[in-house]
Amino acid sequence: MSIAVQPKIIIHGGAGSSLKSKGGVESVRQSLHKIVEEIYRLLLEGMSAPCAVVRGCQLLEDNPRFNAGTGSVLQSDGQIRMSAALMDGFSQRFSGVINVSRVKNPIELALALQSSPDRVLSDNGAANLLRELQVPDHDPLTELRLLEWIQERRGDFNKEMAGVVAERELVTESSAGRGTIGVVVLDQQGQLAVGTSTGGKGFERIGRVSDSAMPAGNYGTSHAAVSCTGIGEDIIDECLAARIVVRVTDGLTLPAAFDRSFTEAQQNQRDLGAIGIDQSGAIAWGKTSEVLLAAYHNGTEIGDTLEWDDGSLTGCV
């Protein structure tokens, strides 16, 4: 019989531009901490890592503050296309969907594909899967996202393209913009899992594929699991999630793997962030962007990275 280990969790709601208002920081913190608290309770009750990851992603996808599920940004043609992936570290099995529409929780499709011989489906294949699973039709569009798209079409929407929290004249409270959501979990059986979901970067070319549905942005084994956020093309160029996990597998500690990988990313002028957990329960995070919207439970208490600004590229507990 396996000896129960102390579960760990870290989640993110994106990375990018700064949270300038204190109200924005506290509002995001409340959202993230509430999700961490709920998932950690489920882990203590014995929930498996993959199930906990899916539940955490669902909660983040359902929060219109974040760019995934409900609240996803619109692409250049005014349509929403979402991508999500799940990786079970124990089985080392990756599954995901690319550019799926009309669904509330794309991560649920990634879960359904875990047992399929064809584990990554693009738009048409994902649409067929929706029908096969009889998933209810859902419109993830919010009024805020539509307003953003209209402003950008007019050319008067000022934003940083990678900004998770965009500053807008018409929006008084900071809310999510470009980015992803992600969840990494170590369960009581010592097993790791990771999930990542996104609405894309907004106004992109039709057919563009996000890093979230690739091992570059979402990867896990029995050694470590990592979820990335930021500019998808930068994450793909660094193959960031897989690179960090391979380095841990090859003998580096998780903090050392983050340090080396983010030093390289900064030298390459990338704009990105990542979170991760290893098999020992170490939790790490990193960013080259201004802010990383992440929160974690280290087995003792909840913490976050919202006001982490000590000049370092990475952190750990």
Task: At 58, list the tokens.
Answer: 């669902």
Radius of gyration of the chain (CA): 18
Task: At 228, list the tokens.
Answer: 């990335």
Residue whose entry in the numeric block shows the structure tokens 């995070």 = 285
Which candidate in 70, 142, 172, 180 is catalytic? 180
Ramachandran assignment for 215, one of left (phi > 0), alpha (psi -120 to 50 degrees), beta (any other): alpha
Cβ–Cβ under 8 Å, residues 29 and 305: no
Q: What is the distance between the alpha carbons of residues 195 and 179, in angstroms, rounded to a whole number?
A: 14
Phi, psi angle pair for 276, to nearest 5°: -165, 160
| C-beta neighbour count of 170 within 10 angstroms | 10
What's the one-letter identity of residue 135?
V
Does 180 participate in catalysis according to the annotation? Answer: yes
- Which helix (H) or strand (E) segment holds residue 96: the answer is strand 93-100
Q: What is the distance between the alpha carbons of residues 89 and 185, in angstroms, rounded to a whole number?
A: 10
Task: At 20, list the tokens.
Answer: 């300038």
- Which helix (H) or strand (E) segment holds residue 228: the answer is strand 224-230
Residue 275: C-alpha distances to residues 42, 134, 139, 247, 282 (Å): 20, 33, 29, 15, 11
Buried-state track 148-167, b at ≥16 Cβ within 10 A, e below 16 = bbebbeeeebebbebbbbbb
E strands within 154-215?
A: 181-186, 192-198
Residues annotated as part of the active site? 180
